Amino acid sequence: MSFAVEPGSIVGFIGPNGAGKTTTMRICATLELPDAGDVRVEGHSVLDDPRRARRAMGFMPDSYGAYPNTTVGDYLDFYARAYRLGGAGRRRTIADVVEFTALGGLVEKDMGALSKGMKQRLCLAKTLLHDPGILILDEPAAGLDPRARVELRELLKALAENGKAILISSHILIELSEMCDGVVVIESGNVRAQGSVDDVTRGVSQRVAVFVRTLAGPEATERTLAELPGVLEVRRARGGVVFELEGDEEREAAVLAALVSAGLGPVEFSPERADLEDVFLSVTEGAVQ
C-alpha cells in the first residue's frame, strides 16, 4: 500500500477487522518491522532512522494501561521526562497539554478512577507532550459516549488547524466523514480506495437520492419530475416525493430550478449522497489476511 498524510489534514484509515490497520499504524510508529517497503515520517525512514522518526510522531494505541497509584500529573510528568523535557520547560509543557485537553481539574486524581473519556484525553495529552508534527491515532473514539466523541473531534480539528498531520482509524464512519479531509480504505493489506471524502463517495455511485416536498403536493411534483432528464425511480414518501437522480450538482440545481419554474413551490429539497459506510460496503468484501 502507498498513501500520504499532509500537514494540517486529518486522514481516516478504515477497513474491516483484520484488514491490517493496526499493523500498518504500528509499522508507522516504529513498533513493528514491515516485510517490505518503508515509511517516511517528515522525511525520516522508520527503518534507517527510527529515533528521528519517533521524535516527529505521536502514537496513541487502541489500548493502554492505567498505572496503579499514579495520578494524572505524575503520569504526564513521567512521559515528559522520558521525552527528556526538563525543568521549567517540562512543567510549562505539561501545563499546556493539560489546558488543551481540559484535564486541569484532574491532575491530582488517580488514573484508575478516570472515566473512559478522561482516559482517552489523558492518552492524547501524553501523545502531545513532545509536540509531534504527525499523530497516529488507533481507534481513539472507541467506547466513548456521544459527548466525549464530539469533544475529541473538536480537539483533533484544532490540532489539524495548528498544522498537525493526523492519521486516525475508526469504525465510527459517520464521525470520520464529518472530520476527515481524506480517507484510505484497506482490505487484506491492500488499499481499495483513497482520496478526499467527496471523491471516494462520488466514486461509489453517480446517483443521488433526493427528497423533495412542494406546496403543490406529491401528485403534481411526480408529474413534473417524470419529464425531467436524469430523474429515475420517482416514488411518494413522508408527504413528499423521493427520486433517484443521475448526475452531478449542476443536474440537482437544474431539477430544483425546474420545480420553481413550474410554480410548484418547493419547500424542501434534500439530496442524500453516498457516505463512507456505502464506500466501505462497496469496496470491501470482509476478507481477512
Same domain, 160 and 269: no
Considering the domain architecture, whether residues 257 and 150 belong to the same structural domain is answered as no
Question: Is residue 132 domain-resident?
Answer: yes
C-alpha cell at 283: 469496496
CATH number of residue 210's parent domain: 3.30.70.980
- pTM for the complete prediction? 0.78
pLDDT of residue 131: 94
11 sits in which H/E element: strand 10-14
Residue 269 confidence (pLDDT) = 92
Residue 4 is assigned to a structural domain of this protein: no
For residues 248 and 107, state if they share a domain.
Answer: no
In this structure, the answer to whether residues 48 and 99 fall within a common structural domain is yes
Determine the pLDDT at residue 249: 81
Regarding whether 162 and 220 lie in a shared domain, the answer is no
Residue burial 152-172, b: 16+ Cβ < 10 Å; e: rest: bbebbeebbeeebbbbbbbeb
Which contiguous run of DSSP H or E holds residue 266? strand 266-272
Residues of the domain holding 34: 10-195
Amino acid letter, residue 213: R
What's the rounded Cα separation, in Å, for the pair 49 and 44? 6
Task: Judge if 155 and 246 occupy the same domain.
Answer: no
Q: Residue 5 domain-assigned?
A: no
Q: Give me the pLDDT at residue 288, please.
A: 54
Picking from 195, 217, 249, the residue at the C-terminal end of a domain is 195
d(CA 92, CA 80): 11
- Domain of residue 98, CATH code: 3.40.50.300
Pair (98, 24) in one structural domain: yes
Same domain for 14 and 155, yes or no, is yes
Mean pLDDT by 10 residues, the chain (289 residues): 94 91 94 94 95 94 81 94 92 95 92 87 93 94 83 92 95 82 90 85 72 94 91 88 84 92 93 73 68
Do 135 and 259 fall within a single domain?
Answer: no
